[in-house]
Structure 1
Amino acid sequence: MFGRKTLDRIERMLDEAIAGNFRESDYDESQMSRVESKWKHYLGLSALTRENMEREKDNIKSLVSDISHQTKTPMTNIQLYTALLREKLEAGEDCGEKQQNLRLLNEISAQAEKLDFLIRSLTKMSRLESNIVEVKPCRQKVAELLEAVIWDAEVKAEQKGIEIVNTYSKDGYADYDMKWTKEALGNVLDNAVKYSKPGGRIYISVTEYELYTAVTVKDKGIGIKEEDTAKIFGRFYRAEEVQQEDGVGIGLYLAREILKKENGYIKVRSKPGEGAEFVLFLQKTNPFRPVRFQKDSGKAP
């Protein structure tokens, strides 16, 4: 049906398109068949679309960077001036007006912290969704991840008299990015602390399967309605009964997206009034694969 030269040219076009090197100007349309000409135009449009997508990605990267940078200084100043004003008020004479002003100041401080948290969460979300940052999983000990996440959550848990019980004592490995997986598991554990009753317990356990290592966070908190279990991983979703609690509804969404980029996933089992059980599945690798060590900054990305 087609000559050898025609097939060779079409194959070369496809190879260049796959490699991202296709340029219409490299081919003389006067020497091409009708089919080759159509392939040329189609691949030219595809190359243009790819260029536009890369340009759009760069624009988003620039926008996210600008938002993060431009809001950092104002937020820092608001928190600084709030702290200075609090010191001045606390040093003044004790009176009814002073107490009222301190209450208002505390509210300003709380709202500033919420805004700062929201900006940081939105920045993380945008960077993940636009692939601006890379999640780079490598073979690491699961125990190190648990220790880091529990350490970050303990202060908040102690304030409510909640005990975090880690039942895992083995030396297993999984394939994960320490910085981002710490964010994912930390979000789940933070929710467990937030929605548990004072004086309760949260259990963290690990189950090893052939292909995955499952990290389970189980609490005895308020639980989740069945109709909400499919919605809680969506952006900004918050169930009606937790509307008054701190948070913006991004934590579980980020956890799901992070695990997805590591070829893992997250599941939930829960009943209202009986607590919730979140299971994070981390992909396991060949036990003979060399271990790479990641240097963790100790902070969420």
Structure 2
Amino acid sequence: MNPLRLQDISLYELATNAEAVPLLQVSPTIFKSMVATLIDVVIERQIKATLWLKLPRGEAWHSEFDRFSAASAQSVYVLGDKPPTAQSIVSLDLEMRLRREYFLLVQSPQFTALVLANRLRTSRLPAELPDSGEEELERKHPLTAIATCDRAVIDRVVGGLAQMIAGTEAEADLQTVSESIDPAIVSDWLAKQIQRQEEIWHSSMISRRQAEAVAQLRQENTTLLKSLRHKDDFLKTLGQELRTPLTTMKTALSLLSSPTLKPPQRQRYMHMLTQAIDRQTSVITSVLDLVQLEDVTDQPPQPLRLADVVPGVVSTYQPLAQEKGVMLAYTIPEELPPVACLNPWLRQIVINLLHNGIKFTAAGGQVWVKARQQEEFIELEVSDTGVGIPPTDLHRIFDRFYSVRQSSEDSGAGLGLSIVQQLIDRCGGSISVKSKPAEGSAFKVLLPIYAASPTA
């Protein structure tokens, strides 16, 4: 049978041009449900009907009329250029507007109904619809559809369909529209469509929740893997940091056992041993501080005044500063509002920054602690006139075990600033640093002002 060529016939235009027909903006999934519910009504009510249809190719779509074929001996006519297997096929050359249209027409003496959809020229629906592709089609290929039992509308569509199949064996089965329609069947169709819509909505909600849960789980897995990698890196670095002083101690002890060792050499090796022990102690203490910090459960912040905390810490470090010949001073206004933090955390922040400043400041230098209000924050600044930090190293100074500034003392564990940053983060604040080599450094900490919870 030679394909017919009818360039300008559009069933959609025939249905919608003559009078105002309610149009629906639907997704392919919703249109598929409209087709399915119409077939459900025909099957369940055992209506002896003839089906005329044109749908996108693909098992997901044509399984619907396969259900009808399995349940009924009535005729099914599939229109298309490459239609799938069906009881009857009307082959058409679809190089025309009908290529963009999909429909299901049910004809029987007591019930005639039509669902018809049209896609715009700019929206190209794939010929094949894989089961997994419906969500993408929902977003990219909306359809304009009608669902009707209106005799006048269906008459015009049947007229256009008659032109398409003229001269084919199927022409004899194309019926005129029945004079009357059973309202009970129409009501049943409407009820089934509402029920199917509810099922689609419920399924969509479940899928969305599952997608959100999967995304959250994926994010949690990524965070966990990142945390595990950080812990692995930390343990590797910790092993190296512990091995260094142990190697020094082992070497010093070996040299001290020499019977020919002179007093100056013995004194030098004893100093090496003492420094190595101090470094080992510093590393272990800092690691324990970090572990304790990570194990702390969430606690509500406390209102803390810097004027109640800073002077006590400064007085503790005054002897060390005087021993080094470093001037240590502070300026903390009494009227500053309290910050939101925990007392042990705030003390540890000040201790580590002060210790850091004194350590890298030579005799004759200065270390200052100042504070002032900056909008909703209190700025705590610890500055020194020490050796400074090279610009290339500023971005790494808060890394664990990283130490760049050189002093006459041992460089320490390299964990102090890392601990400071974590404590400040937990208080909801931030820390920044400005530094110039040979001129000194200034660490600025912003801590949020305490805001009391409103009483009931």
TM (normalized to structure 2)? 0.42
Q: Which has the larger radius of gyration?
A: 2
- CA distance in 1 between partners of 2:408 and 2:207 (Å): 56
Matched residue, 1:205: 370
Equivalent position to 1:159, from 319, 323, 344: 323
- CA distance in 2 between partners of 1:230 and 1:246 (Å): 18
1:131-183 CA distance string (max 9 Å, x none): 54446521121112212321332232121021211122423222221101211
1:65-95 CA distance string (max 9 Å, x none): xx9xxxxxxxxxxxxxxxxxxxxxxxxxxx9
Residue 111 (structure 1) aligned with residue 281 (structure 2): no
- CA distance in 1 between partners of 2:433 and 2:311 (Å): 22
Residue 275 (structure 1) aligned with residue 440 (structure 2): yes
Segment of structure 1 superposing worse, 183-192 or 231-240 = 231-240
Question: What do you get for the CA RMSD once the two structures are aligned?
Answer: 4.2
Distance 1:47 1:241, change over 3 A: closer
CA contact (8 A) 2:360 2:406 kept: no
Residue 189 (structure 1) aligned with residue 354 (structure 2): yes
Equivalent position to 1:140, from 288, 297, 304: 304
- CA distance in 2 between partners of 1:203 and 1:132 (Å): 31
CA contact (8 A) 1:141 1:171 kept: no
Equivalent position to 1:230, from 395, 400, 410: 395
Superposition pairs of residues 60-79 of structure 1, within 5 angstroms: none
Query: What is the deviation of 1:236?
Result: 1.8
Segment of structure 1 superposing worse, 44-53 or 270-279 = 44-53
Query: What is the deviation of 1:107?
Result: 3.4
Distance 1:266 1:110, change over 3 A: same
Distance 1:181 1:237, change over 3 A: same
Matched residue, 1:262: 427
- CA distance in 1 between partners of 2:434 and 2:393 (Å): 11
Structure with greater strand percent: 2
Q: Percent identity?
A: 22
Distance 1:160 1:242, change over 3 A: closer
Please, which runs of 5 or more residues in structure 1 have no aligned partner?
Answer: 2-30, 68-94, 291-301
Distance 1:269 1:48, change over 3 A: closer
Total equivalences in the alignment: 234
Structure with greater helix percent: 1
CA contact (8 A) 2:333 2:372 kept: no
CA contact (8 A) 2:429 2:445 kept: yes
TM (normalized to structure 1)? 0.61
Query: What is the deviation of 1:241?
Result: 4.4
CA contact (8 A) 1:142 1:171 kept: no
Matched residue, 1:177: 342
What is the SS of the residue equivalent to 2:370?
A: strand
What is the SS of the residue equivalent to 2:395?
A: coil
Please, which runs of 5 or more residues in structure 2 have no aligned partner?
Answer: 1-25, 27-198, 236-259
What is the SS of the residue equivalent to 1:235?
A: coil
- CA distance in 1 between partners of 2:262 and 2:364 (Å): 36
CA contact (8 A) 1:148 1:182 kept: no
Higher RCO (Cα < 8 Å, 6 or more apart): 1
What is the SS of the residue equivalent to 1:254?
A: helix
Equivalent position to 1:149, from 294, 313, 335: 313
